[in-house]
Amino acid sequence: MNPSTERTDLAAYACSSARSLGRKHPEEHRDNRPAFERDRDRIIHCAAFRRLEYKTQVFVNHEGDYYRTRLTHSLEVAQIGRAIARQLHLNEELTEALALAHDLGHTPFGHTGEEVLDNLMQGYGGFEHNLQSYRVVDELEERYPNFNGLNLTWEVREGIIKHASPYDAPLEAMVGFLPGVVPSIEAQIINYADEIAYNNHDIDDGLKSGYITLEMLGRIELWRRVSATVRGKYPAIDDRRLVYQTISALIGLQITDVCSTIATNLERFGIAGLEDLRLINRAVAHFSEEITILNMELKSFLFDHLYRHHKVDKMRVKAEIFITRLFETYLRYPNLLPPKYQTRFDTCGIHRVVCDYIAGMTDRFALDEYKRLFEPYERV
C-alpha cells in the first residue's frame, strides 16, 4: 500500500490501515486504497447490505415510504460515527465500515425476528444478530473466487463480533479476537452512534405514525430541555420544523457528550496509544452520567409508548407466526431451500442453514414466501 494514501492526522490511539493485523486470505489488490476504506467499499457492495433497505427498523417496510429501515438506520449510524471519529482524530473509514456492517445479520421484522430465531435455535447454537453479521461477512457472502465471505481486515471483524460488548459472544467465536479485551475506540463508538441514531429517528418515526405526540414527549426531560432551547431561538417555529430542529440538536448534544467523555477517559486512564487501550482494557466510549440518566428516561418512554404500542405488537405477533411457520416448514421439507443452501447441510447442519436463510430474508420476501407456501391460490 502506498503510505501516502493513509491519513496523516490520526491520533496515536486510532487504528491505521498501515498497522492492520491483515486479512485471513492473502490477496493482490488492483489499487492502493487503505485497507479500512477497501473494507467499507466491500460492505457497501455486498448483497446483505442491499437487503437492509427492506428490513424493519420499527415499522414494517410496507407500512410507509418515509419510515426508517435497517439501511437508512445504518447510514445514520455511519454519519454519527464519522462525526465522533473526526473530532477525536480516529479512523473515519474504519468507523464507517463498522457502522455500515453492524446490522448486516439482522433478521426480517426487527428484534422480533431475532428473538423468534433465537428461541427456535435453542440447542443448535442460538441466534444473535451481531454474531450473524460476523457470519455474513466471514462466510455467507459469495463474491470472490478463492474464499467465502468478504475477507475483511482483523480490526473490522473484531469490531463486528464485539459490537455492544467484548464479553457477550461465545468464547469459541472470539478465538483470535482477544476474548474479553475491549475493541478499538472506533468499534466502541459504534455502540453510541447506534443508540443516538435509533433513539432520535424512532422519535421522528413515532411522531409521523401518531403513536407518540409532542405533548407526550413534553414530559421527557431531555426533549423538553432541548426543544425549549430551539423554541427560544425561533419563537415562531411551527411544530414540524420544531421536531426536525430538536432532533438535530439532540444528536449534536449527544455527539459532543460522547466526544467529551472519551477525551476525559483517555486522559484519566493514561491512554496515549492503541497498545495502552488494550493493556489497560477499559472502555473509554460512553455518555456522561447526566446524559446516561436522561437517555434512560427517553428509552423507557419509547419502549412503553412506541415499541410496545398495540399496533406495533400486532405486527410482532404476526411476525412470530410467519418466522416460526417458515422455520418449521423448511426443517420438514429442506428441499424447499435454494440449492446453494442445501449444499451446506453437511457442514453447517440443517438448523443453522435454515436459520441463515430466514435471517437473510427481507420483510417483503418473508411475507411473499409465506404466501407462496401457505396460501392455496398464490403462485409459487
How does pLDDT run across 241-279, given as a tens digit for each residue? 999 999 999 999 999 999 999 999 999 999 999 999 999
Length of the chain (residues): 380
Residue 62: the pLDDT is 43
Q: Which residues lie across from 23 on neighbouring strands?
A: 153
Model confidence at 66, in pLDDT bands (50, 70, 90)? very low
Of the two residues 58 and 373, the one the predictor is more confident about is 373
pLDDT digits (tens, 9 = 90+) for 166-176: 666 676 778 88
Average pLDDT over residues 228-232: 97
Domains of the chain: 3-17+31-374 (1.10.3210.10)
Listing DSSP states for 118-182 in one string gives HHHTTTTT---HHHHHHHIIIII----SS-SS---BHHHHHHHHTSS-SSSS-HHHHTTS-TTS-
Residue 356 has pLDDT above 50, yes or no: yes
What phi and psi values does residue 146 have, to the nearest 5 degrees?
-110, 0
Residue 4 has pLDDT above 90, yes or no: no
Residue 67: the pLDDT is 61
Residue 2 has pLDDT above 50, yes or no: no
pTM of this prediction?
0.93
Contact 276, 13 (CB under 8 A): yes
